Amino acid sequence: MATHSIPPADANPGAPVGAKPRAPGGAAVRAKHAASLIVLRSGNSEPHMLMGMRGASHRFMPNRLVFPGGRVDRADLKAPCATSLSPATERALRKRTNGAMAHGLAAAAARELLEETGLSLGHPPRLDVLQYLARAVTPPGLPMRFNARFLVVEEQHVHGKLAGDGELEGLRFWGMTEALALPLALPTRRVLERLRQWLAMTPTERDAETSMPVLLRDRGWLME
């Protein structure tokens, strides 16, 4: 496994390397739709999540432990799928967007998982196995912003050999305690904390949560 130095947590962990906030009066940067997929391994003493380290050359969150994910491409909006989203997940993804983007977010999550880890939800992917967890929006004023949705899939629904395109280094399953002990970027920490709460819920409680999420504002990040 490659070794990396992990920087301390900071107020704007999504800022590109060397980035400066836009000047007063400058045009606001619109947050791009993005999706991350948490592959969850259950059955141990605690949950484990598939995560990897973004290299130092990345503009967004360099040297950070993250989940597989990325921005939605235009092709994702009409990408073929083997199954549709579950009603609860589609309802959550359609919040503040539309049906086409809800599909695109799920398709992007599946595509990024395959590209970055070598693991697949099928060809074409199954979307019914995806569950909604949270949304996080990069603080305003930064030159690179994302409106990211975080989805969860159980490990038994993914197939393939762990490899990927090299964008995430040192890919492996991290235990919840191990991951939270690191100086994680703020949104990653909040998503893991949210996941821990979500895992303690019943399916009915989870469905209710996706329709009425708790809104948080933390150091400029909008999270729900």
pLDDT tens digit string along 27-76? 678 899 999 999 999 877 899 999 999 754 555 555 689 999 999 999 99
**What pLDDT shows up at residue 61?**
57
pTM: 0.84
For residue 13, pLDDT beyond 70: no
Comparing CA positions, the residue from 139, 173, 145 lying closest to residue 30 is 145
**Whose structure tokens read 């235990």?**
175
**When comparing pLDDT for 156 and 18, which is higher?**
156
Contact 169, 4 (CB under 8 A): yes
Cα three-residue angle 18-56-148, rounded to 5 degrees: 80
Domain extents for the chain?
32-223
Whole-number average pLDDT of the chain: 83
Contact 65, 53 (CB under 8 A): yes
| Topology, domain 32-223 | Nucleoside Triphosphate Pyrophosphohydrolase (3.90.79)
**What pLDDT shows up at residue 130?**
98
**When comparing pLDDT for 85 and 2, which is higher?**
85
